[in-house]
Amino acid sequence: MKTCLIRCVWRCIGVGAMLLGYASGQTSIYSTASGSQPSAAVFGAVLDASGAVIVGASVTLGSGNRDLLEAITDAKGEFRFGAVAPGKYELRTAYPGFKVQGTRLVVGARAPAAVRIVLAIADHHETLKVNGQDGSLSTESSENLSVIRLDPRQLEDMPILDRDVIGLLSRLLDPSSMGSGGPSVIVDGLPSSERNIPLSEIEEIRFNKNPYSAEFARPGRGRIEIITKSGSSNYHGSLNFGFRDYRLDARNAFAVERPPEERRQLEANLSGPIHRTKKNTFSVTFSRIQDDLKPSVYALGLAGPIRENAAHERTSTLISAQYTRRMGGNALSFRYVDFEWSNRGQGAGGFVLPEAALNSTVRYHQLYSSYRATISPKLLDEFFVRVRTEETSAESVLPGVPKIVVIDAFTAGGAQVDNRGTDNRMELTDTLSWSRGRHLLKTGVNLPVFGRFGSTDRSDSGGTFYFSSLNNYALGKPFSFLQQAGAGHLVFWQKQVGGFVQDEISVRHNLKAALGVRYDWQNYGSDGRNLAPRLSLAFAPGKGQKTVFRAGAGIFYDTLSQEILAGVLRLDGTRLRQIQLLNPGYPDPFLAAPSFAALPPNLARFSPTLKSPYILQYSFGIDRQLRKSLTFTATYTGTRGVDLYRSRDINAPLPPFYLSPPDASIGLFRQVESSGGSKDRTVVAALRGNMTRFFTGVVSYEWGRRMNDTNGPASFPADNWNPRGEWSRASSDARNFVYLYGTVNAGKYFKFGAIFSAISGNPYTMTTGLDSYHDGMTNARPPGVPRNSLHGTGTATLDLRWSREFPAHAASKEGLRFSIAVDAFNLLNRVNYISFVGNLSSPFFGAPVSASPARRIQLSLAAKF
């Protein structure tokens, strides 16, 4: 009885102290008297429907009908309550122009996970609850459980090689959902070619959010969305130094010895207010990377095996500065980025000898601006614009020396690369959101690319000899010689425009629908009929909303990349003269042939019937709350590709004998056309949450079946007159894929971040290695053998990160902090073969010739405040 009485007294003292602190204006700290029951911190972030952080939102922590504490979100949209006693609470979040949001929360002895609160525009009827707090799931189209979100805290726990988060998530992308230009990366609302975003600048990364949104050109599993940090209302900074050294690494399976590789990376960030009002903030980031690589050469020459380590040095410097001004519910931001990249020894390794490498540089300046305006309580406008100017160059390590390529044996001589390029572009997005009753209407316009591109290409001026085998090389019998002459100067405009309208409808409290349509246009290859309807549904039967059924369908159009446009426009017969001589002399290709000027030139063009390719994607799935902190999701997705890009030589020798081209006055006549197709089926099942007492994260399994008849706009069929014969398994047809990421917390000093991935082998094609169709190509297959008939081996990788943070002052965890981390990539040092040779004329036929890196150790030291 005495013990119970003492506990009651202490609880009353704790509640009284809390209420006294609240009444006296202490809004962010809750404390109990010494010796009271355990307490935990409650923290999180407030965002709008687009995923952007909301600064200045009011977050109130209440219990029953009483408001206990109040906090205001900072410049990063974050709030925090310290020392909250265990119990049941409700977070009430409010901000002008948005609907008041209530979020139920249970605080135990341990600190709860970060709370993510998404506010809807006022009068938009939706209920968003934190998964696991009350057993209910959201039926919003953007809250599918197959979405992956990583915030700064999660990113700090994950083993990320070279701090490259885009490379980390690229493993999860669906090849059938990506366009011909590769993954779609959206940075702060705009499509971007940036791949060097410092980790300290990233606020959140999203993958597969709202898969059928009309706002984006590509499906959810084909794009990565990145939101960067804005300035902070308080001064914050970080300094990170990371390095790798070959002495800590294992030897690659194809290296003769462990090469002396090194990597040094320095990254610093500082942000804070400019004035006392904290309405004006800044953020400055600096990053410097020095990478000394030694790729392994694994080739075979006339004298025998060639085994050596090439030199490959990469250096990059990035400086970024941002200014943000907040005016009530509006925010105006500017960011300037200067980036410089040097790549020496690029291309060496595998079959390519060090002498055939090249040196390249990239330098760009970029100005980004955004303006977010709350026009009225029901109307929100978001405007993003980016202006960029870029200069590139590339040249051979050995200029002027002819290149020698013995297919799937070795590549020697000069790289035959000499080009300069400029890229001046503007990108723009403006989105208007209007809420009325049960509807949230969004409409906007996109300019993914509006730019002027220039280049001067003098590559292959010395020519390239191609040999089908080592035996033919010993006999001096190349099957082809390629050479170019002329300035190769090209200037062209690339224009892409998109627009969309979408209505998110709350049909009932447990039934939501999103209906939209998008239109995309490009100045090359668009037929003007690129309307892309999108639809998604979410239904949660029952009162508890523990199960949500989802379905969706949509059309997504593709566009031509800058590289493909330049390659076709340059070979118009006037800018650059390119010839291909079959069965030339060696080393003088014109010894028994006409002069260069007398040979028929190679040409390129877009097909007169070229269209914008598109995919029709549909899916249906289920989200299920298994218990308070564990959910399950399963989704079936079907994809049908129509009018996909491919290249074809329309002047190739005619069947059945393939002896001579139809027009002897020209050589190879490359036509880029939209005549390919694909068909894909995938099933993805995943568990996420607290799976055991020690592990929290995501475990995902994917089964897939992918078929197509083209590998993209740069690929040619084996027989240019029979492209239908290419239909087979896609090169990306890996049937099984397992992915796991999360944290293992087994004690104060035993917290690890882990990523495990395992994928079955990809198929590859058996070829003869001979120019069987007399078109200068060696991709012919034996009679009756389909494309991708051979099969490689699977891969499996375990990456692990251990980190530990130490406050400078033991009594405070909010001031200066130091941390140390150790990352191990491919911890088990498994040999993962990634390249197999299908060329019957190669001495390496059927064998692997390269592997993923062996075990690597990455160390990092950091200071934060």
Residue 471 confidence (pLDDT) above 90: yes
How does pLDDT run across 574-628, given as a tens digit for each residue?
889 999 999 999 999 998 788 888 999 999 999 999 999 999 999 999 999 998 7
Buried b (16+ CB within 10 A) or exposed e, 774-797: bbbbbbbbeeebebbbbbbebbeb
Q: List Cβ neighbours of 176 (8 Å cut-off, separation of 6 or more).
A: 615, 617, 639, 641, 678, 680, 682, 706, 730, 732
Predicted pLDDT of residue 314: 96
How does pLDDT run across 640-690, given as a tens digit for each residue?
999 999 999 999 999 999 999 999 999 999 999 999 999 999 999 999 988
Question: Residues of CATH 2.60.40.10 domain(s) within the chain?
Answer: 2-119
Predicted pLDDT of residue 109: 62
Q: Which residues pair with 861 in a beta bridge?
A: 241, 820
Three-state SS sequence of 586-650: CCCCCCCCCCHHHCCECEEEECCCCCCCEEEEEEEEEEEEEECCEEEEEEEEEEEEEEEEEEEEC
Per-residue tokens: 533: 């309807």
Predicted pLDDT of residue 814: 66
Q: Which amino acid is at 556?
A: F
Predicted pLDDT of residue 153: 81
How does pLDDT run across 843-859, given as a tens digit for each residue?
999 999 999 999 999 99
Residue 812 — very low, low, confident or very high, per pLDDT cuts 50/70/90? low
Residue 702 confidence (pLDDT) above 60: yes
Residue 112 — very low, low, confident or very high, per pLDDT cuts 50/70/90? low
Residue 500 — very low, low, confident or very high, per pLDDT cuts 50/70/90? very high
Half-sphere exposure of 487 (CA within 13 A, CB side): 8
Percent of the chain residues past pLDDT 70, beyond the cut: 91
Residue 761 region by backbone torsions, left for phi larger than 0, else alpha for psi between -120 and 50, else beta = beta
Q: Name the CATH superfamily for 227-672+679-864.
A: TonB-dependent receptor, beta-barrel domain (2.40.170.20)
Percent of the chain residues past pLDDT 90, beyond the cut: 62
Its pTM stands at 0.84
How does pLDDT run across 87-100, given as a tens digit for each residue?
888 888 887 667 77
Q: If DSSP codes are grouped into helix, strand and coil, which group holds residue 666?
A: coil
Residue 508 confidence (pLDDT) above 50: yes
Predicted pLDDT of residue 75: 63
Q: Which residues pair with 702 in a beta bridge?
A: 684, 737
Q: If DSSP codes are grouped into helix, strand and coil, which group holds residue 79?
A: strand
DSSP code, position 168: H
Predicted pLDDT of residue 64: 64
Lowest mean pLDDT among 370-374, 413-417, 603-607, 743-747: 743-747
Q: Are 292 and 843 within 8 A, CB to CB?
A: no
Q: How far apart are the first and last CA of the chain?
A: 47
Per-residue tokens: 723: 């492209």
Q: If DSSP codes are grouped into helix, strand and coil, which group holds residue 712?
A: coil
Q: What is the CATH number of domain 2-119?
A: 2.60.40.10
How does pLDDT run across 796-808, given as a tens digit for each residue?
999 999 998 888 8
> How much is the mean pLDDT over the chain?
87
Question: Residues of CATH 2.40.170.20 domain(s) within the chain?
Answer: 227-672+679-864
Q: If DSSP codes are grouped into helix, strand and coil, which group holds residue 247?
A: helix
- What are the distances in angstroms from CA 224 to CA 24, 172, 188, 550? 46, 10, 11, 21
Q: Are 442 and 546 within 8 A, CB to CB?
A: no
Q: What is the mean pLDDT of residues 780-794?
A: 95
Q: Which residues pair with 430 in a beta bridge?
A: 383, 445
Q: Are 762 and 798 within 8 A, CB to CB?
A: no
Q: Please count the other Cβ atoms lying within 10 Å of the Cβ belonging to residue 94.
A: 14
Predicted pLDDT of residue 51: 64
Nearest-angstrom CA–CA distance, 649 and 163: 43
Predicted pLDDT of residue 11: 40
